[in-house]
Amino acid sequence: MHRFSFLLLVLVAVTLSAPLLSPAAAQQPEVLVVRLEGTITTMSVELVNEALAYAEARNQPVVLTLDTPGGNLDATQKIIAAIERAEVPIIGYVYPPGATAWSAGTYILLSTHIAAMAPHTIIGSAQPVAFSPFGGSQPINDTKVLNALEAYMAERARAHGRNETAARLFVTENLNLGAEEAMEMGVVEVVAPALEDLLAEIDGFSVETVKGEYVLRSRGAELVRWTPSPGLLVFKILSEPMLAFIFFTVGMYALIFGLTSPGAGGEVIGAVLLVLGLIGLGITGINVGALILMVLGAALLLAELFTPGFGIVGGSGFACMLLGAVLLFPSQWSVSPEWLNLLYAALISAPLAIGVFFIFAAYKVLKARRMKPAMGIIVGEEGEALEEVTPEKVGFIRYKGEYWKAKSAVPIKPGEKVEIIGKEGPLLVVKPKKTREG
């Protein structure tokens, strides 16, 4: 009987502890939160791609918080393509309260698997605009462009069962909707004041990704806030449209000035700014641009060895090497945080070590260039005649313990002090010391 009671107790204990030992209960679900704010640029594309790679490796849903006035149409379409190819659910969320997701933000929101808004947020105004240096921003009224974007927006809405009419009006009439209006019109599925409320609302939602059906288990999930890599943080600054345009324009003019007036440093500054502008405008891409920067930096550091002083050439080269290394450094690693910290230390220390080496080399070159020529040191020095030296006879003199052949325009007797006044090939030209004193 005691044996039976003991076995029963063990069975009850195992039954009660089974949920605690199961993988589902042992590991709390996580949701990755990615902030997409400010102007949509090529940096935004890199940010979304980087975060999606992280989330897909861990099978985590992604909440894409939106607070943007709009941005580049090409970058917007690349973000939408990444969302549609995602293996995990992407929840678009206009957040925080009072935020806007105008223009490009609306396109992105309607393309996510679940669309949500915080109270007092606004979406809409999706008619495209063109920028002219002379006329500023002007709405595009070309029917070919408008019809294409209208159909593009409507198709995104239809794919997720949303209001296609409203989607079209966002483009053709610059329709704007608040959170409650968007909910009533079937443009978004959820209105939630905070991220925790959003996770509770979407718990149990079933969405279709490229890998099939995905049922969200988000209630009480841990919010993991995405931090961009150092390269993306630098790229974010470079890709600001106004700054990138200034870099490109100033770099072009500085390069032209430098090539027409060599030696002023304009060609160096122009080349660096031009590459930074090309990276920021998204023409080269972040990886290709980083490689160009590092090659340019190496070339400038080598050029510093042939120019006086560690100035604008060497400094620019060192900056290019460091910036290129930061931009090129991969963001995803399957290593421990300790190893990743070592990799980041190597990222900084390697360009610094190279820079220190070239500073030392440039210093040695500069020191050698500032040294007086050997002839300049000998002229004016004093020696002693070892034998008779006359205009007709070459004789030996001693100068600092060395024996030199010398000639003179006046006779010099052995043992007489002489002054070196020149050099002709292997011969020193001397004169009696007493001649100068007299």
Residue 385 belongs to domain with CATH number? 2.40.50.140
Both 169 and 277 in a single domain?
no
Say how far residue 418 (Cα) sits from the centre of its chain. 67
pLDDT reported for residue 7 = 46
pLDDT reported for residue 256 = 75
Both 184 and 77 in a single domain?
yes
Of 319, 337, 370, the domain-final residue = 370
The 3-state DSSP class for residue 426 equals coil
Cα 27 to Cα 241: distance, rounded to the nearest angstrom: 43
Both 221 and 254 in a single domain?
no
- Establish if 5 belongs to a structural domain: no
Both 289 and 395 in a single domain?
no
Both 252 and 187 in a single domain?
no
The rounded radius of gyration (Å) of the Cα atoms in the chain is 37
- With residue 180 as reference, give the H or E element that holds it: helix 179-184
- With residue 229 as reference, give the H or E element that holds it: none
Of 333, 351, 370, the domain-final residue = 370
| CB of 159 closer than 8 Å to CB of 152 | no
The type of residue at 146 is L
The 3-state DSSP class for residue 143 equals helix
The 3-state DSSP class for residue 106 equals helix
Cα 264 to Cα 33: distance, rounded to the nearest angstrom: 49
135: its two tokens: 């006329």
Phi/psi for 188 (5° steps) reads: -125, 160
More confident residue, 194 or 332: 194
Both 130 and 168 in a single domain?
yes
Both 222 and 92 in a single domain?
yes
Q: Quick check: 22 pLDDT over 50?
A: no
Both 212 and 269 in a single domain?
no
| CB of 252 closer than 8 Å to CB of 274 | yes
Q: How many domains does the chain have?
A: 3
- Establish if 53 belongs to a structural domain: yes
Cα 286 to Cα 239: distance, rounded to the nearest angstrom: 10
pLDDT reported for residue 426 = 78
CB atoms < 10 A from the CB of 151, how many?
A: 14
- Establish if 406 belongs to a structural domain: yes
Range of the domain at 399: 375-437
Both 173 and 137 in a single domain?
yes
Both 142 and 252 in a single domain?
no
The mean predicted confidence, pLDDT, of the chain is 79
- Establish if 399 belongs to a structural domain: yes
- Establish if 169 belongs to a structural domain: yes
Both 264 and 339 in a single domain?
yes
Scanning 227-336, the segments in alpha helix (DSSP H) are: 230-238, 241-260, 266-280, 286-304, 312-328
Band of the pLDDT at 180, cuts 50, 70, 90? very high
Scanning 22-91, the segments in alpha helix (DSSP H) are: 23-26, 42-58, 73-84
| CB of 86 closer than 8 Å to CB of 210 | yes
- Establish if 214 belongs to a structural domain: yes
Burial of residue 399 (CB within 10 Å: 0-12, 13-18, 19+) is: middle
- Whats the size of the chain, residue-wise? 438
Q: Quick check: 419 pLDDT over 60?
A: yes
What letters, b where the CB count within 10 A reaches 16 and e where it falls short, cover 97-107?
eebbbbbbbbb
Give the global pTM.
0.61
pLDDT tens, 352-408?
Answer: 666 566 566 656 655 665 555 554 567 878 889 999 998 888 999 988 878 888 999
Residue written as tokens 């549609």?
A: 84
Both 281 and 399 in a single domain?
no
| CB of 96 closer than 8 Å to CB of 63 | no
| CB of 88 closer than 8 Å to CB of 34 | no
- With residue 31 as reference, give the H or E element that holds it: strand 30-37
- Establish if 167 belongs to a structural domain: yes
The type of residue at 290 is A
- Establish if 37 belongs to a structural domain: yes
Residue 195: which residues within 8 A CB-CB, separation 6 or more?
A: 33, 63, 65, 93, 95, 223
Of 199, 228, 257, the domain-final residue = 228
The type of residue at 95 is Y
Band of the pLDDT at 262, cuts 50, 70, 90? low
pLDDT reported for residue 273 = 80
